[in-house]
Structure 1
Amino acid sequence: MDDNKQNRTVIEAEIPMGPVHPAALEPYRLRLFVEDEIVRDAEMTVGVNHRGVERIMEGLPVEKANSLTEKICGICSNSHIWNSCRTAEIALGIEVPERATYIRIIMEELERLHSHLLYLAHGNEVLGHETFSMRLFYIRETVMDLLGMIGGNRVQYGSAVLGGVRPRCQLDEMRLQKISEGMDLIEEKVTAFADRFVSDPMIMSRITGVGVISSKDALRLACSGPTLRATGVAKDLRTEMPEYDPFEFDVITQDDGDVKSQLLMRVFENFEAIKIIRQAVRDLPEGSITNRSWEMQDTPITKSYIEVPRGTLYHSYALEDGRVRNCVIRTPSMANIGAMQYACIGHHITDAQLSVVQCDPCFTCTDRAIEIIKI
């Protein structure tokens, strides 16, 4: 036997990361089980930000409960309040005016832009490329200004209400012009970033082949959104939502399932969001933006699924005397946690954080559930 092999010592250890990491805004705990600096297993624990939103919603008037859902997350706040309103609208048979639906789409796609640009900025921060990170935050400022202009606030805009959107979200010619100009600027800046990004050999070598998730494993792990589409699976719930029927857009996919594919997914989806927003601005129908001609009634548990920046968002609840009962919310990051753990395995410990961040986790969204057990 080779003496070198006979004398070889294998070091096995557990490396804890978190609950605070310099490149992550939200707390979580990651346990890495390593062998000679190669990750052999990983375990992720969330719950540090636990708030029990679903329990708080129990018994609240439905419109107040809808407003509370917006507080679940500061990145995808519009997604939560839209889907919560949508749940009640489906249950009560409320017909949303067409103009209001278009404004909701504009808000949602602007939020997709701001979420993807935030993801790309933090991804470059993990890569150690501060210049790219700051440039992306600069591009994102245009999106935040537009969201603030429409909703009156840069975060938690409160645009959706039962039956439509708030009066302050009405779009006049001046606002529509500013949105169009903003889309031109963002498209130009994102294109310039993408050209620089993919032509940088150091970055490409750092992210290619790292944190690979196959399409088979992504489906087995119930991945959702861009995390799933980066493995080659063309699944985008917007293609099944009636609100998106008037709009033409492509479902973006990548084939390699690695960090490079995940980053490029968000880059290219930005252009599709811009395309949708331009169509909505161009074809914005006339008419009212709120339908209040409906009556409250008791309803059974009703479900609503929509496609948000990170994947499929699920809301469900019943109504009793105008109050919410049995609320359940399931966010995309809950589904993608398995992929985050799996992506670390087989790679060097220095790639672990990059493998987790590539799935665009939103732990604040995830940390809003409670579990009641009998002791």
Structure 2
Amino acid sequence: MGTVHSAAIEPYRVRLFVEDEIVKDAEITVGVNHRGVERIMEGLPVEKANSLTEKICGICSGVHLWNSVLVAEKGLEIEIPERASYIRIIVGELERIHSHLLYLAHGNEVLGHETFSMRLFYIRETVMELLRMIGGNRVQYGVPIIGGIRPRAELDEMKIQKIREGLDYIEEKVKGFADRFTSDPMIMSRITGVCPLSRKDALRLAVTGPTLRATGVEFDMRREMECYDPFEFDIITENDGDVKSNLLVRVFEIFESVKIIRQALDNLPEGAIVDRSWEMQDTNITKSYVEAPRGTLYHSYALEDGRVRNVVIRTPSMANIGAMQYALIGHHITDAQLGIVQCDPCFTCTDRAIEIVNLKR
């Protein structure tokens, strides 16, 4: 199947080896969207390189920029204002909500339930408009900068009220969807027990994010991020690692993101939103990990004369897509596409690297 498949948003190729319509082995090939982002970033001024990271993905563009900016801030030992940190978290959690809603909408499209799919996209529009209001764009809103956030992303009382109203609407509508979705016996029978991944295999295959939590592993990188220390939220887990568990984890994580944003709005500190007192200097390779909507996102680079060197970006879909090859084995060929998309694969995130090989003649 592929490189273009009607059930996939992005192009990739799947090879299934079947016997009596049962999958015996699978091979998922990525690379169609390859753009060589890490190589292009090499040697760019750090502000321009950070901006380029937003182009890695159109769904989680904000968290890529945030993490890339964090690398520079850690290397340069910049303390960002507390208000800026809160606003970054608000934007990050709004992005998580829109990503999870996109996942649920696409999942229902693959299931063949177009009504649920379109209604979820309609709910997602509220999130996209909130992101546009804060950053100026529905995609690639460009909120974090080294030292804080852009002035255009400052939150006044009008914007705060709009966000609160949007959260009330999103929470109400997602609850309604969850009640109808989980009470539909045909849907639940179609997704229960389909392409499960065990906890043991998930850990062995380095699965991350909601796909890992769907197997019962209680790990969320946000617990390791100092900026999330002031916020209370639950780590959502399910135990079966199948399509049902993956869908339910994303549904319940939306409510946790709403909870975090409300806490941030209620306790938004006063003060500056950017620190411009820092000076550029050379740094060694600095690493940063954050919890993107699909799992742990890694960025690292060094600074030399204000330019980035040795850029490495590792996205969560790299491991999760590979694990899906294993999850498909033993299941019917008609479950294959559903089994692949259960990990919320982002192929543009994955297709970002370039390897230079010296060939001996």
The TM-score, its normalising length taken from structure 2, stands at 0.99
Once the two structures are superposed, residues 248-280 of structure 1 have per-residue CA deviations (whole angstroms, 9 ceiling, x without a partner) of: 000000001100000001000000000000000
> 2:95 aligns to what?
111
Aligned-pair Cα RMSD in Å = 0.5
Once the two structures are superposed, residues 211-233 of structure 1 have per-residue CA deviations (whole angstroms, 9 ceiling, x without a partner) of: 10000000000000000000000
Pick from 205, 209, 218 the counterpart of residue 221 of structure 1.
Answer: 205
Whole-angstrom CA distance in 2 between matches of 1:97 and 1:340: 41
Once the two structures are superposed, residues 276-304 of structure 1 have per-residue CA deviations (whole angstroms, 9 ceiling, x without a partner) of: 00000110000010001001000010000
> 2:254 aligns to what?
270
* Identity score, percent: 80
> 1:30 aligns to what?
14
1:320 partner letter: E
Whole-angstrom CA distance in 1 between matches of 2:219 and 2:297: 14
Whole-angstrom CA distance in 1 between matches of 2:170 and 2:36: 37
Q: Does 1:237 pair with 2:218?
A: no
> 2:29 aligns to what?
45
Deviation at 1:22, TM superposition (A): 1.3
Whole-angstrom CA distance in 2 between matches of 1:80 and 1:128: 32
Whole-angstrom CA distance in 2 between matches of 1:373 and 1:355: 34
Deviation at 1:335, TM superposition (A): 1.3
Q: Secondary structure at the match of 2:238?
A: coil
Q: Does 1:69 pair with 2:28?
A: no
> 2:313 aligns to what?
329
Whole-angstrom CA distance in 1 between matches of 2:120 and 2:103: 9
Q: Does 1:304 pair with 2:288?
A: yes
2:330 partner letter: G
> 2:273 aligns to what?
289
Q: Does 1:102 pair with 2:91?
A: no
Once the two structures are superposed, residues 160-184 of structure 1 have per-residue CA deviations (whole angstroms, 9 ceiling, x without a partner) of: 1000000000000000000011100
> 2:245 aligns to what?
261
Q: Secondary structure at the match of 2:207?
A: coil
> 1:193 aligns to what?
177
Whole-angstrom CA distance in 2 between matches of 1:311 and 1:82: 15
Deviation at 1:374, TM superposition (A): 2.1
Once the two structures are superposed, residues 60-93 of structure 1 have per-residue CA deviations (whole angstroms, 9 ceiling, x without a partner) of: 0000000000010000000000000000000000
1:223 partner letter: V
Q: Secondary structure at the match of 1:325?
A: strand
5+ residue gaps, structure 2, are none
1:340 partner letter: M
> 1:208 aligns to what?
192
Whole-angstrom CA distance in 2 between matches of 1:342 and 1:200: 29
1:306 partner letter: V
Q: Does 1:174 pair with 2:122?
A: no
Whole-angstrom CA distance in 2 between matches of 1:174 and 1:148: 14
Q: Which has the larger radius of gyration?
A: 1
Deviation at 1:340, TM superposition (A): 1.4
5+ residue gaps, structure 1, are 1-16
Whole-angstrom CA distance in 2 between matches of 1:293 and 1:303: 23
Whole-angstrom CA distance in 1 between matches of 2:71 and 2:319: 21
2:180 partner letter: R
Whole-angstrom CA distance in 1 between matches of 2:336 and 2:326: 10
Whole-angstrom CA distance in 1 between matches of 2:271 and 2:108: 44
Once the two structures are superposed, residues 117-162 of structure 1 have per-residue CA deviations (whole angstroms, 9 ceiling, x without a partner) of: 0000000000000000000000000000000000000000000100
1:246 partner letter: P
Whole-angstrom CA distance in 1 between matches of 2:4 and 2:150: 37
Whole-angstrom CA distance in 1 between matches of 2:133 and 2:356: 42
Q: Does 1:142 pair with 2:126?
A: yes
Q: Secondary structure at the match of 1:95?
A: coil
Whole-angstrom CA distance in 2 between matches of 1:211 and 1:94: 45
